[in-house]
Amino acid sequence: VDSIDPITLEVVTEGMISVVREMRATVFLTARSVAIYEARDFSCGLFDATGQVVAQSEDIGSHVVPLPWSVESSLKILGDDLAPGDVIVMNDPYLGGTHLNDVTLIYPVFHEGELVFFPAVREHWADVGGSVPGSMSGTASEIYQEGLRIPPVKLVEQGEINHAAMEILLSNMRVRDERIGDFNSGLAACRTAERRIRELITRYGIETLLAGVQSNLERPEARMRAQIAKLPDGEYF
């Protein structure tokens, strides 16, 4: 990847951060669950083609920290089978999820046939099934009592909803219409992100965007390595 000058780097970095902030605004304005539009129990992020963080917003730490693991898990399971217009849904805590109510949508963005970015949204859906309304029982003794556990699945394939998969989800969750609304809000956020990413590509070029991503990944690593190198040799616990 070619190098990038500091001014251009700052411009494209802020552009990618603004993508995530617009995702957040979209979810806030369109979600159906009170937990999302009032309590703001959701988070958004933008990731590169390997799942590394490109940009995130002022969101919930317990969401944004494991989100890259969700993207990486999805890549391992579905990576060879992704196409433009696909949308991945998942909530599995063992694959980068948090609790089952936090449902994640992951949206691959392609440029000239190459996978370049993943916008992702993690929302607290008010119910995902389980033994009690709200899916959070204080007496649950195993994860199966907490609701539907969803591995990475393509809920939308090349722009078309997988109605069989959607029906399995909705048939096991309470307040069906609200779940559909929350899904649509996350989908709208991801599609908004795709439009804004394409605008950045048109304005600055994909090479410049990817150079900015690479620089933002390399610079913090270099600074951290420099700080660690200052520590005296020894054993640390």
Torsion 43-27-9-68 (CA) sign? positive
State yes or no: pLDDT of 1 exceeds 60.
Answer: no
State yes or no: pLDDT of 49 exceeds 70.
Answer: yes
> How confident is the model over 175-215, as pLDDT tens digits?
999 999 999 999 999 999 999 999 999 999 999 999 999 99
Residue type at 94 in one-letter notation: Y
State the pairing for strand pair 153-157/87-90. Answer: antiparallel
Residues forming a β-bridge with 119: 46
Instruction: Give the model's pLDDT for residue 237.
Output: 83
Percent of the chain with pLDDT over 90: 89
Instruction: Give the model's pLDDT for residue 114.
Output: 96
* Model confidence band, residue 2 (pLDDT cutoffs 50, 70, 90): low
Instruction: Give the model's pLDDT for residue 236.
Output: 86
Give residue 161's region: left, alpha or beta (phi > 0; psi -120 to 50). Answer: beta
Which has the higher per-residue pLDDT, 147 or 3? 147
Mean pLDDT calculated for residue range 229-235: 92
HEC string of 123-161 equals: EECCCCCCCCCCCCCCCCCCHHHCCCCCCCEEEEECCEE
Instruction: Give the model's pLDDT for residue 57.
Output: 80
> How confident is the model over 95-114, as pLDDT tens digits?
999 999 999 999 999 999 99
Instruction: Give the model's pLDDT for residue 208.
Output: 96
> How confident is the model over 52-77, as pLDDT tens digits?
999 998 889 889 899 999 999 999 99
The answer to whether residues 186 and 45 touch, using CB atoms and an 8 Å cutoff, is: no
Instruction: Give the model's pLDDT for residue 70.
Output: 97
Mean pLDDT calculated for residue range 160-186: 97
